[in-house]
Chains A and B, each alone.
Chain A
Amino acid sequence: MENLFRKSLEQAPEETRTWVSKSFDITDQILDILERKGLSQKELAELLGKNESEISKWMKGTHNFTEETIAKIELALGEPVTITIKQAEEKYGGLRKKMEEQEKKLHHLEAILKQKGIEPGEFGYALAG
């Protein structure tokens, strides 16, 4: 079963696999937000003026979402479902900079330990613990 499935999947156009994967990303995010906010799919349907069955179909992961639909969902949920690279940079750029600084410090520390003959790996585990 696994072999035939994989063999046939390999024939699937990359475009199809990509949009289905994106649809799963979007619906995973929506489901995460619903769970976090304690909202049901029925309540989301009511907020959007849709039937619950339509929302259930969307959540299966093969709905081809339009930007308009995503915008309506984001407004209903009160938070973004997808963000662009630019938005991500604005939101998380500072965090990335901090992580890069921490990484530099870590490399510096590893170099010092190496000079003193201590294996950085061993020390790293100790720090993590």
Chain B
Amino acid sequence: MLLYSFHLADQQFCEFDRFINRFDINTENAVALKQKDDLYIILAAIDEIVKRGARAGRFRGENNVHALPAENCDLRLYCIRLHDGAVLLGNGGIKTSQKLQDSPDCFLHYQLLSELEKQITVRIQSRELRWEGALLKGDLYFELGDCVD
């Protein structure tokens, strides 16, 4: 099982590491502690996916970008199931509204991953990218328009 993430050009760390670094903080603040609890649920879920594989039945929905965890948590991590043996982890944030569009802390990360997913699909179809076992080979540099400031 392979976990992928991606680097933004101006960032030192990949998006998944930035997500962990942002919420895995030592604090006495109750709100931050709740987010930390949510983070641990997300990390435990990723650990199970690594152990068991990314079976398709767990990743269903209107499109290919999925949120972890799906309920009872304010924190969201966005990811894409590439196949049974590979998941691309993005970044995430705190969902503060029913509609994702009204949660700016999440929506940006969702949009970015959604755009990346489209481009990966196009490149796989055009054979610019190809799977060699669980490894995605080819041009992995993407320009994603104006999604990110």
Measuring CB to CB, which residues of chain A are less than 8 angstroms from any residue of chain B?
A: 1-2, 4-5, 8-9, 11-13, 16-17, 20-21, 24, 27-28, 31, 34-35, 41, 53, 56-57, 59-64
Show 6 residue pairs from A and B whose CB-CB distance is below 8 angstroms, ordered by the A residue.
A5-B43, A8-B39, A11-B40, A24-B48, A60-B59, A63-B71
A54 closest partner in B (C-beta): B71
Quick check: B44 and A17 within 8 Å, CB to CB? yes
How many residue pairs, one in A and one in B, have C-beta atoms under 8 Å apart?
A: 88
Tell which of B16-24, B103-111, B124-132 binds the partner. Answer: B16-24
Quick check: A4 and B17 within 8 Å, CB to CB? yes
Q: Is B133 engaged at the interface, CB distance under 8 Å to the other chain?
A: no
Q: What class of interface size applies to chain B in its complex with A?
A: 20 to 34
CB distance from A62 to the nearest CB of B (A): 4
Q: Is B52 engaged at the interface, CB distance under 8 Å to the other chain?
A: yes
Which residues of the partner chain B approach A31 to less than 8 Å between Cβ atoms?
Answer: 55, 57-58
Measuring CB to CB, which residues of chain B are less than 8 angstroms from any residue of chain A?
A: 3, 5, 14, 16-17, 20-21, 24, 37, 39-49, 52, 55, 57-61, 66, 68-73
B71 closest partner in A (C-beta): A57
- List 5 additional A-B contacts (Cβ < 8 Å) besides A16-B41, A60-B68, A62-B69: A1-B17, A9-B44, A12-B40, A31-B55, A31-B58
A35 closest partner in B (C-beta): B57
B21, B37, B66: which contacts A4 (Cβ < 8 A)? B21
- If A11-B24, A34-B57, A62-B68 touch, whether A5 touches B16 (CB-CB below 8 Å) is yes
